[in-house]
Amino acid sequence: MKRHFHITLPIVITTFIPYQFSRQIQKFPKMVKTNSNAYDFEVLIHVSNQGSGTVGHVDFYYDGKIYSYGNYDRKSRVCKEVFGDGVLFITEKKKEYLSFCKTYGHKTLFGFGLRLNDRQKANIDKEIHRLMSDVYEWTPYCKRKENKKKKFNDYTSVLYQTTKATFYKFSRGKFKTFFVLSTNCVQLVDTILGKAGTDIIKMNGIISPGSYYDYFMRQYHKKHSMVVSYQIYS
Which tens digits make up the pLDDT trace of 39-49? 999 999 998 77
Paired with 84 in beta bridges are 178
The rounded distance, in Å, linking the Cα atoms of 67 and 87 is 11
Is pLDDT of 134 > 60? yes
The rounded distance, in Å, linking the Cα atoms of 128 and 141 is 26
The rounded distance, in Å, linking the Cα atoms of 123 and 145 is 39
Q: What is the reported pLDDT for 6? A: 46
- pLDDT tens digits for range 191-203: 998 878 776 655 4
Mean pLDDT of 204-216: 76
* Better pLDDT: 202 or 156: 156
Averaged confidence pLDDT in the chain: 81
The rounded distance, in Å, linking the Cα atoms of 214 and 229 is 15
